[in-house]
Structure 1
């Protein structure tokens, strides 16, 4: 049969296997087994934009094409239509199964990215990451994991999401972690969010709350005073509620305790300043170091008998106290205000006696001066 007659038997829509013979600037010539070579325009090579035919094809390569147009001595082919049909079927299966797959980001466009999935797969800006992205240029040329979230053949629409993959992975990690962690575990995390009542720390796919009371041994007015977003912190797991997926954490519990090595910091006989924190019937509790309170027994508050501590003390008052006894093991410290006063009086008496011995002044001089002032 004459080759030209055979060409006339070709119909639009026929699928053929051919070999690339030549690459021109705007098209490729393809041997399709007939005397007339098939013409594959650059626009019909791929569903994505192709700058040069050599970017997508190579001489000698076997390709499957579809007949798009038949004329007397010319056959126009399309590889794009064959690839698209195959790709649509694959993408529909991926959408149905929720399969995660890889694809290269080819372009950065208004409102998102374009990925090569055999078709133009559009990734909306809100589906690129689970966090806000300011500059998308760094994604061009990268290979990312995606899920198909929407398909519409009639509108040639393919919508992809990398964010969905990230969230799915985080969800899996979260469940694994929830089953794995237990009370008492010490972990490293990153501060994600700071609130009025504490801070949320990511401990590897799930956030746990460090309540403001668990931030420090010292009193904390605002969590932001001691925490910074993005900061790495060590935390101890206080509790895990797998049903509500709530985890309570503590930073305080992994810090050196205020009573640790207290006997090296403060020793019996020392006089230190402290703040009256609480008044009770039997005495007053005075904070001498952050988180360290000692008891001033009522008998050691004043050098005279008092009925209740609030006769001479009030909460918030700064006082000098003498350390009588300290125990790291029992976290107890005995203090005295009375002995500070007694020591002070003793020193003043000793100073007076020294001054008297040196003839600096006499008791009569002091009394005389005072009497003189009264007569005036």
Structure 2
């Protein structure tokens, strides 16, 4: 042994002093040994994580364990889902057995006690909280809010959800709906949060939207009287008469749910939260869309739309109707248009006059047809009465008689 080594060796007295210091430090660190008992709340640091438990140093003479069931109010697959090495945690002593050096701790008990108070405060203030979906069960979702929280299926979204299988792991924004500590019951709702946001957004749109404004929206619902279009979080109605310039029987003729359409705002009623929209207002009018083939003198196909006493209205293009005056329906005289026409009938018409500016067009049916030939005139029989012998001329008998033929017997007396 070198002199230098000898110089650094402790004497028995020094070793005794060092051991005494270590013992004092240990006693100081474990000053709560005799005071530690079941139900105590302690602070600790996670030193090891197994699948079914976690080990925690709480400054005691041996480490405590947190069983999987005591880590959370929500069933866990493994301990790592709740804690990690180095994490500071607050725990409650469940059992302590120094002889077996067994110290069982609970994180769940501490979290639950705090959660009840915190959730009550959130319920009173209606503050929004966030929580991850731990499990999908019959009738709704289970979330971890320090307690086992339940979100009924009807309170998850504003719309109906058929399958919640992909919700596990999602973070929801929730409001506390109901608390019952005695029954360990915690009911939460995400729908309330979404409803509040929807109402706030609706008011913002109602206050900012202007009549005449053109916007895009998504078709939400089809009804017998039109379609509802989402224009940014609020639905407006496009009445069926405002869907197109031509007559529309059913909305499904033009759109389906999910279609993106351009609309114009016709009316805003903030008090009743109603918005009237038009699809046809953003489309070129039918009179602006008339082709070159629709000009005075042209013969075009049309559909009889309405019959009135003075004529018939015929559609010659989508949304463009012209009048066939009763005098232009047939070459012969008719008392009413119903004598020769019926609504829905397909016919050809000739354009007599066209005025797009005034949206007027005059039509003729009879000028598309060749006029029938005039019937031959009937000959009336003629008769003459002879003043001398009451001679009556018969039909087809010549009246050109000579004087000798008519008065021969009388003239013979003068010979």
Q: TM-score, normalised by structure 1?
A: 0.81
Whether the aligned pair in 2 keeps the contact of 1:274 and 1:286 (CA below 8 Å) is yes
Whether the aligned pair in 1 keeps the contact of 2:73 and 2:148 (CA below 8 Å) is yes
Choose from 13, 16, 23 the match for 2:42.
16
Query: CA-to-partner distance for each residue in 1:232-286, whole Å, 9 max, x for gaps?
Result: 2222222111111122222222233211132524122211222333445654332
Report the counterpart of residue 105 of structure 1 in structure 2: 133
The secondary structure found in structure 2 opposite 1:50 is: coil
CA drift of 1:4 comes to 8.3
Structure whose CA Rg is larger: 2
The secondary structure found in structure 1 opposite 2:84 is: coil
**Distance in 2 (alpha carbons) for counterparts of 1:329 and 1:100:** 59
1:261–1:328 CA distance, 2 compared to 1 (3 A): farther
**Distance in 2 (alpha carbons) for counterparts of 1:104 and 1:152:** 21
Q: Does 1:159 align with 2:187?
A: yes
Say how many residue pairs are matched: 346
Query: CA-to-partner distance for each residue in 1:67-88, whole Å, 9 max, x for gaps?
Result: 2233344432212111222222
Q: TM-score, normalised by structure 2?
A: 0.74
Whether the aligned pair in 1 keeps the contact of 2:290 and 2:317 (CA below 8 Å) is no
CA drift of 1:310 comes to 5.4
Report the counterpart of residue 361 of structure 1 in structure 2: none
Report the counterpart of residue 327 of structure 1 in structure 2: 355
Q: Does 1:135 align with 2:169?
A: no
Query: CA-to-partner distance for each residue in 1:191-242, whole Å, 9 max, x for gaps?
Result: 2222222222222222222222222222223333333223222222221111
Query: CA-to-partner distance for each residue in 1:306-330, whole Å, 9 max, x for gaps?
Result: 6765565554444322112222222
Q: Does 1:198 align with 2:226?
A: yes
Q: Does 1:44 align with 2:70?
A: yes
**Distance in 1 (alpha carbons) for counterparts of 2:304 and 2:226:** 27
**Distance in 2 (alpha carbons) for counterparts of 1:268 and 1:155:** 85
Report the counterpart of residue 367 of structure 1 in structure 2: none
Q: Which piece of structure 1 moves more, 281-290 or 199-208?
A: 281-290
Report the counterpart of residue 292 of structure 2 in structure 1: 264
**Distance in 1 (alpha carbons) for counterparts of 2:115 and 2:161:** 29
Q: Does 1:181 align with 2:209?
A: yes
Choose from 68, 88, 101 the match for 2:116.
88
**Distance in 2 (alpha carbons) for counterparts of 1:275 and 1:22:** 86
Report the counterpart of residue 296 of structure 1 in structure 2: 324
Whether the aligned pair in 2 keeps the contact of 1:18 and 1:63 (CA below 8 Å) is yes
The secondary structure found in structure 2 opposite 1:7 is: coil
Whether the aligned pair in 1 keeps the contact of 2:331 and 2:371 (CA below 8 Å) is no
Alignment of 1:106-121 (within 5 A): 106-121=134-149
**Distance in 2 (alpha carbons) for counterparts of 1:290 and 1:162:** 48
RMSD, matched Cα: 2.8
1:339–1:104 CA distance, 2 compared to 1 (3 A): same
**Distance in 2 (alpha carbons) for counterparts of 1:56 and 1:315:** 76
CA drift of 1:176 comes to 0.9
Q: Does 1:220 align with 2:248?
A: yes
The secondary structure found in structure 2 opposite 1:171 is: helix
**Distance in 2 (alpha carbons) for counterparts of 1:340 and 1:24:** 95
Q: Which piece of structure 1 moves more, 271-280 or 156-165?
A: 271-280
The secondary structure found in structure 2 opposite 1:96 is: helix
Gap regions ≥5 residues in structure 2 = 1-23, 374-415
Report the counterpart of residue 251 of structure 1 in structure 2: 279
CA drift of 1:59 comes to 3.2
Whether the aligned pair in 2 keeps the contact of 1:87 and 1:119 (CA below 8 Å) is yes
Report the counterpart of residue 56 of structure 1 in structure 2: 82
Whether the aligned pair in 1 keeps the contact of 2:30 and 2:59 (CA below 8 Å) is no
Q: Which piece of structure 1 moves more, 304-313 or 8-17?
A: 304-313
Gap regions ≥5 residues in structure 1 = 349-376
Query: CA-to-partner distance for each residue in 1:142-172, whole Å, 9 max, x for gaps?
Result: 2222222122222222222222222221111
1:53–1:284 CA distance, 2 compared to 1 (3 A): closer
Query: CA-to-partner distance for each residue in 1:50-69, whole Å, 9 max, x for gaps?
Result: 33333433333322112223
